[in-house]
């Protein structure tokens, strides 16, 4: 599976000069927990709801402060057509909870650990279902092949 096919939610981006207040309002209005900070076409940071709490509210930062002052950098990126297993490796190696998915240098979306866990849980459910049925209902052998 390609990484871009595992993206579950739309991506929302802001300019570096938009304010912390705007970032918070946009999170509320679009239902996302993180925003890509985009300069030109390039993603230069990610700002999360956690960033707003820890780096803005807890430090009494003005709501009119620029969002690039509270964003998380550097951004760990993954190509949109990369195999999803590459995303697993990046999460493991960089200890982040989200990756910016890019097409060339252009941001196209965000993939999170939650997205991967949901897919994994569904896959595990598919694998466990026949075993569960066998445990509950017993094993049904097919008829042996006819012998001469």
Partner 1 sequence: MQASVGDRIVIKGHRVGEPERDGEVIEILGSDGEPPYVVRWGDTGHESWFFPGSDASVQHFEHSS
Contacting positions for partner 1 (CB under 8 A): 7-14, 22, 25-26, 29-31, 35-36, 38, 107-109
Q: Cβ 127 to partner 1, closest distance in Å?
A: 24
Q: Which helix (H) or strand (E) holds 46?
A: strand 42-48
- Torsion angles phi and psi, residue 103, rounded to 5: -115, 100
Cβ neighbours, 10 Å, residue 134: 11
Backbone angles phi, psi at 8, to 5 degrees: -100, -25
Considering beta carbons, is residue 32 or 76 the nearer one to partner 1?
32
User: Is 76:90 a contact under the CB 8 Å cutoff?
Assistant: yes
Instruction: Retrieve residue 120's tokens.
Output: 């994994």
- Least Å distance, CB 38 to partner 1, is 6
- Pick 61 or 108: Cβ nearer partner 1: 108
Question: Closer to partner 1 at the Cβ: 122 or 146?
Answer: 122
Residue 77 Cβ vs partner 1, minimum distance, rounded to whole Å: 14
């Amino acid at each position: 599976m390609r990484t871009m096919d595992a993206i579950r939610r739309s991506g929302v981006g802001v300019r570096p000069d938009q304010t912390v207040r705007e970032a918070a309002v946009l999170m509320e209005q679009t239902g996302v927990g993180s925003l890509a900070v985009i300069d030109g076409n390039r993603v230069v940071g990610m700002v999360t709801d956690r960033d707003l709490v820890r780096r803005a509210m807890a430090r009494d930062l003005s709501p009119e402060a620029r969002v690039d002052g509270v964003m998380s950098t550097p951004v760990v990126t993954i190509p949109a057509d990369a195999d999803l297993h590459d995303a697993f490796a990046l999460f493991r190696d960089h200890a982040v909870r989200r990756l910016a998915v890019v097409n060339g240098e252009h941001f196209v979306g965000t993939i999170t650990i939650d997205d991967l866990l949901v897919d994994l849980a569904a896959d595990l459910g598919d694998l466990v279902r026949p075993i569960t049925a066998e445990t509950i209902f017993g094993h049904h052998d097919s008829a042996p092949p006819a012998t001469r």
